[in-house]
Amino acid sequence: MTGSAVISLFLLLMTGLVLAFCQAQLISLIAQIRRIRRAPVGNVSLLPATGPAALDGSAHGATLTSPFTGVPCVFWNIEIQEYRSTGRSGSWRIILNRSSDAPLLLDDGTGRVQVDPSGATLTLFDRWSTQQRFFGSLNRATLDTLEHLNVKTRTWLGTNRVLRIYERHIRDGERVFVLGTLARVGEQSVLISAPKTPLLLSDRDRAALKQHLSIRVLGLISLPVLILLLLVAINMFA
């Protein structure tokens, strides 16, 4: 087998692996984009009692404190990843993803509606992040928070676990986009997650969110396309 044939075979395998890795993310992102496009943004004052609803507005609610930075907010989410090696390669695995469960109030200027964030799909900016490498350590406050969350920072051998920590939050009055299902809870309508259509909560408005998701789709598609173009170029000049 010639050198160019070996390279071509390697690139084909890489393309297949990249596509397999990206497939689930692509399907999820495309489904979100289609769902957002199909749901016109309405007004709180004109909402039906039940059914799907999409709203842009400002977020309000009980004052919470974000776990790592202590920022006053109405919603927070934290994600902790660990790098796990499998010999020659490795990958980041989510070991904890937790969000506040206090209800939000969305105000669009025509009225207010309650939002239950339980089970929501989140598209939020990373407001804070840090990393623990194999050598070095996190600051005391971060270590204390991890201990409170029952996340161990060392392996059974006493070495550091390689961790990445992200915190996202929504402050009172910040603009949000919510897409969910209206349901009657007691005497009021609440935006909730349905069994097959989880609530979508973003700190971008509808237009910015569609653009953000589209860019992510293009990013996932571009790598296998570039590999295939390189494969074609190698075959052309071999």
Does 152 lie in the same domain as 76?
A: yes
Give the mean pLDDT of the chain.
86
- Is the model's pLDDT at 56 over the cut of 60? yes
110 in the same domain as 212: no
- 162 and 79 both lie in a single domain: yes
pLDDT at 184: 84
175, 66: one domain: yes
Residue range of the domain that includes 88: 42-204
- What is the per-residue pLDDT for 149? 96
Q: Are residues 74 and 138 in the same domain?
A: yes
User: What per-residue confidence (pLDDT) applies to 234?
Assistant: 62
Q: Output the pLDDT for position 37.
A: 84
Same-domain pairing of 108 and 15: no
pLDDT of 228 strictly over 90: no
Domains identified in the chain, total number: 2
Average pLDDT over residues 83-87: 81
Greatest alpha-carbon span in the chain: 74
Based on the fold, state whether residues 110 and 143 are members of the same structural domain. Answer: yes
Do 66 and 136 lie in one domain? The reply is yes
Residue 95 to residue 152: CA distance in whole angstroms:
11
Query: What pLDDT is recorded for position 27?
Result: 80
pTM, two decimal places: 0.81
- Give the torsion through C-alpha atoms of 96, 83, 25, 129, to 10 deg: 60
> Of residues 221 and 238, which shows the higher confidence score?
221
Same domain, 190 and 94: yes
Q: CA-CA distance, 178 to 188, in Å (whole number)?
A: 17
**What's the confidence (pLDDT) of residue 136?**
78
Higher pLDDT, 105 or 11: 105
Within this chain, do residues 179 and 87 fall inside the same structural domain, yes or no? yes
pLDDT higher than 80, residue 84: yes
Same domain assignment for residues 115 and 180: yes
- How far, in Å, CA of 12 to CA of 7, rounded? 9
Cα separation of 89 and 87, whole Å? 6
Where residue 162 falls among pLDDT bands split at 50, 70, 90?
A: very high
| Same structural domain, 186 and 110 | yes
Residue found under tokens 């071999």: 238
* pLDDT at 72 exceeding the cut of 60: yes
Task: With a cut of 70, say whether residue 76 has pLDDT above it.
Answer: yes
pLDDT band of residue 17 (cuts 50, 70, 90) is low
Pairing of strands 188-192, 112-115: parallel
| Average pLDDT, integer, range 110-138 | 92
